[in-house]
Structure 1
């Protein structure tokens, strides 16, 4: 992904730095970013609570975080017939959890300003600010 991003930035003439880091241990100072964007990553983070705390740490007090994540569905039937069997396949292959409730975890760390739910809650778009 970094190789593709670097090439795309080069093609577009954009001067940008790319970093590879663990979400639970970000290499940035406190209060560094105006925005943090998380796009389909919380399904694979080993310690999601620690990653949420890191987002808060690097986010400026006036900052926002945007999540686009797949989560447990609002539909029991979809969870049992689709997400649970999919997790049996993806967990051992790529350590991906299709049944995480990231949308609920977000509320423990952030004040949700906007939430959109797609495909019966399998995909959620959330805009939030730190609770402080």
Structure 2
């Protein structure tokens, strides 16, 4: 993981966050209640939107990204605890969380199927699982372009896969998908699920 990526992330993403993603995040995270697990919390961009959470356990494998979230932790209304850990091996007991949140992170997780297994394990039966992700496009030409660009993109964007079919992966596991909403011609999705174990 390069040192430059965490430093530039907020600066590069700020226009998108301010004018496009802020509304999406606010709407999705209004459903986050009780004890919440956030997967890949990055620089803490979600932290201001936790209005109904009793506690947020936020995991992030990149210590430089996590360090940059410190100010947002202090400003948040929610009680937030951060952990330097990956999503594939979560340090929490079975059936711990009422809600799990993953936003713009599944593209970078090295073993996304293992991460989904862990989410099922640590969340309670019936827990809300909330995703906001960019995904592989349905249009064949554009999907092929994503395939071609992904090796280069992974190198400059901290392992991000442009061509990951996150919705397809979710459908392989015990999630009840309640709602899928497309943004920007299907490049971004919000996916609201329940743990169906």
Is this a same-fold pair by TM over 0.5?
Answer: yes
Q: What is the RMSD of the two structures over their aligned residues, measured on CA atoms?
A: 1.7
Find the residue that maps to 2:69 and give its secondary structure.
helix
Partner residue, 2:102: 38
Partner residue, 1:87: 150
Partner residue, 1:125: 190
Report the Cα offset of residue 15 of structure 1.
3.9
Matched, 1:112 2:177: yes
Q: Take 1:75 and 1:54, find their aligned partners in 2: how far apart are those partners?
A: 31
Q: How many residues align?
A: 131
Comparing 119-128 with 7-16, greater Cα deviation is found at 7-16
Find the residue that maps to 1:52 and give its secondary structure.
helix
Q: Which runs of 5 or more residues in structure 1 are unaligned?
A: none
Q: Does the CA-based 8 Å contact 2:126-2:196 persist in structure 1? A: no
TM-score (norm 2): 0.61
TM-score (norm 1): 0.88
Find the residue that maps to 1:108 and give its secondary structure.
coil
Q: Which runs of 5 or more residues in structure 2 are unaligned?
A: 1-42, 44-65
